[in-house]
Structure 1
Amino acid sequence: MEKVSSSSEASAKVTSIFIYPVKSCRVISVSQAPLTPTGFRWDRQWIIVNQKGRAVTQRNEPKLALVEVELPKEAFLEGWEPTGGSYMVIKAPGMDVLKISLSKPHDVTDGVSVWEWSGSALDEGAEAANWFTKFLGKTSRLVRFNAASENRPVDPEYARGHNLMFSDQYPYMLLSQGSLDALNKLLNEPVPVNRFRPNILVDGCEPFSEDLWTEVRINKFTFEGVKLCSRCKVPTINQDTGIAGSEPSETLMKIRSDKVLRPNRKQQGKIYFGQSLVCKDSLTKGRGNVVKVGDPVFVLRKVSSAAEAAA
């Protein structure tokens, strides 16, 4: 049963905003980020693909955790556009620095695939390809989402009419500090938030409150909570070393599996941590479409238990 909240008090506030320009590489933490219909600007706009055009991620190449990505600070100001001298800078242990122009590349590569989607993408060229080929030890290319010609819809069963770039499933993922703290109390070695790769970290609410949120307002924007975020093996990879272990997945399986949270639903052996979001507002340019650290989070609608949440 969904409840509509009439509370004028914020349920939480935004404490961190995270952007992952190259899918599966290191995070950039920012104080504000412009919203776009496909997620925060620059988030998962690039991916590395293998010689068959398939996305390479930490699931099959955990050492991508060691690849650092930097963007110009002003890239997170609303309305900023790259000039010919604007670059994304990529670094990794034992590698020269790679600079990628933020101006759109001209070459198009067909047959790029991420999960069930396939299409064309913009190819970042030979220097980037050689860099990632050398780092991973196998033929690789760096490609950029081609928003001018491609559309990648989210699962219409959960959020019809929304699109994303190279994120796994939905444009935004939110996690609460309370949930992370509750998990860490059960672990012998606490894990940092970077294991879970959220876009928005909030604090001030009870652990796992975000499971229940079906509609929230952050700043003046309304987000729909569309689906509990099911987790793959990436949270088991230490983001400082690129080495995988068994935690926190083993502990999450005991406290956050579908068997525990959704005992009366069809069991798929999944574990859940965080809430997937889409932005419900139409984002017209120049309207202050920015979320900032410190913004209050108001819960407008929620369900009464995780068993009732979409997953």
Structure 2
Amino acid sequence: TPPTSAPLGGAAAPNGTQGEPVGADCAMNSGCADLGITGQCCPTADGTMLGCCSSLEAAAPPALKPVASGPGPIMTTYMYRVANDEDYPINGVNMANLAGDMWYLHNEVVRACPRKFGITRVLRYKVTMKATPELYSSTNHENFAHLCHFDSGKCTGPGNSLTDYTRYGYAVGCDRPSTHVASYKGATWFSMPGACPRLTFASKKHYPACKYQDPGGECKKGQAWSKTCTWRKEYAGEVSLKELTGVDATHSWCHQGNYEWKDHCDCGRGTSFWNGKRNHAKGNERIDKLRSLFEKKYPSQPADLGEAHCPFGDRNR
């Protein structure tokens, strides 16, 4: 049985409703209007399951601003993603700039020994992206949507993310995490909407046809910029965490009483690389080391492509 969360441009069968639906319900329901759904189906309270409406909703959907005369400028930057030794498709994921990846490593990964998710390396991609005219006009000429949190390939929120993909296209999103948690100034996260953002990787394998109705924003070769072509990527190398930190953080290393970083002392045992999580100077040193390792390993590639400015998050971050 296919999943009950419907892809863009489609609607699932009526689900869990009682009584006879009113034919005009969907036309009057802002959630349905946002999704372009007509007839007698509309979203349930969670915004993803589709079923028959049981009442009218008087509120009209917010009006779109006039569409910009053209899309946003083409932007190219390096984005990074931590990974274990297995290769996974980049189909609905969050990525980051260098500072953002270091923030994530320090706050989420190295506090566990062995490391969370078995992370062993940092992957780099050259990403080229362009905001759609619809997004560009609605955000006063900003180049990003709000960040969508992807978990196993599925967009899990904020709640309006999937609706925004319908209204503005599958735009790259961004946000800046707090430097009060980990001092990596300029840290930025990005959301890269892939095909079928309503489904996890496992569900996408079971229902591959979803990509025809919910294609995502990654451009196919030769595809023109559009609401379904907002970003392109090229693999641009990787650096292992052993190269970066000098340790493997294996089971045997951890069982000897070592650890990379603990909050109670803001320090490691067997390594001092991560000491000083909220120390701005030390954070910069760690970022610089990772950047220099990429430069040394890939001398034919640019060391830096510049930063893509994210308008969201605390301005002081």
TM-score band by shorter chain is under 0.3
Q: Which has the higher contact order (CA 8 A, sep 6+)?
A: 1
Structure having the higher Rg = 2
TM-score (norm 2): 0.25
